[in-house]
Amino acid sequence: MEILQVVLQVVLGVTSLLLTLLILLHRGRGGGLSDMFGGGVTSNLGASGVAERNLNRITVVLALVWISTIVILGLITKFDAGA
């Protein structure tokens, strides 16, 4: 059980970093903090609709893996503490 916990902690760390990077890659929609810090300047980088959709899909899948890893680690911790 300890090996599974270590593997899940590594997966959690890697997915956390990747999720942060993917969220930062998203294009700002405007009207928020992105405008305040120079995000109002439009850029054609990643302006493709297909690329944006793929980025959205990858981000959602990675977020689901991240959330499920947290839930599984929480359950392991809860049931290990009771034993």
Within-domain flag for 41: no
Domain extent, residue 76, equals 20-25+49-82
Q: How many domains does the chain have?
A: 1
Q: pLDDT digit string (tens) for 21-78?
A: 999 988 776 655 555 566 555 555 545 689 889 999 999 999 999 999 999 999 999 9
Within-domain flag for 56: yes
**pLDDT value of residue 10:** 97
Within-domain flag for 59: yes
**pLDDT value of residue 71:** 97
Residue 29 tokens, joined: 């929609």
Within-domain flag for 60: yes
Answer whether residue 18 shows pLDDT above 90. yes
Within-domain flag for 12: no
pTM greater than 0.95 = no
Within-domain flag for 54: yes
Within-domain flag for 42: no
Q: Mean per-residue pLDDT for 78-83?
A: 80
Within-domain flag for 63: yes
CA distance 74 to 9: 11
Count of alpha carbons within 13 angstroms of residue 1, beta-carbon side = 10
**pLDDT value of residue 46:** 46
